[in-house]
Amino acid sequence: EAQVTQNPRYLITVTGKKLTVTCSQNMNHEYMSWYRQDPGLGLRQIYYSMNVEVTDKGDVPEGYKVSRKEKRNFPLILESPSPNQTSLYFCASSLMDNRREQYFGPGTRLTVT
């Protein structure tokens, strides 16, 4: 089954404790991206990747890191999480770039206390 998976689905952590949210897709898509969704603000892109070893900032990259060492995986790293990073996070992938349909993972609900 074609899908995007994310782990963990729910995470409660404390300020400053490094964490990684994994994202994996099995559709051989080149384009992958991370979004955060906050009430009243809609989906905002954090980072995107056009292919292996090619990443770039989205609209709200501060406080986040990503890597793309393999085509299927695109982890999101929070080196020192802060409470303002409490949000619902979605990973997505697309065949070529953002101009095609994006397939979203199920989301990760992160709470930073």
Residues 103 and 32: their CA atoms lie apart, in Å, by 9
Using DSSP's 3-state secondary structure scheme, residue 51 falls into strand
Q: How far is the CB of 88 from other proteins (least distance, A)?
A: 6
Q: Which of residues 53-92 bind other proteins (CB under 8 A)?
A: 56, 58-59, 88, 90
- Residue (67 or 98) nearer to other proteins, CB: 98
Closest CA to 76 of 37, 30, 19: 19
Residues 3-32 that bind other proteins (CB under 8 A): 31
C-beta of 14 vs 54, nearer to other proteins = 54
Q: How far apart (Å, rounded) are the C-alpha atoms in residues 21 and 110?
A: 10
Pairing type for strands 10-13 and 108-112 reads: parallel
41 in contact with other proteins (CB under 8 A): yes
C-beta of 14 vs 41, nearer to other proteins? 41
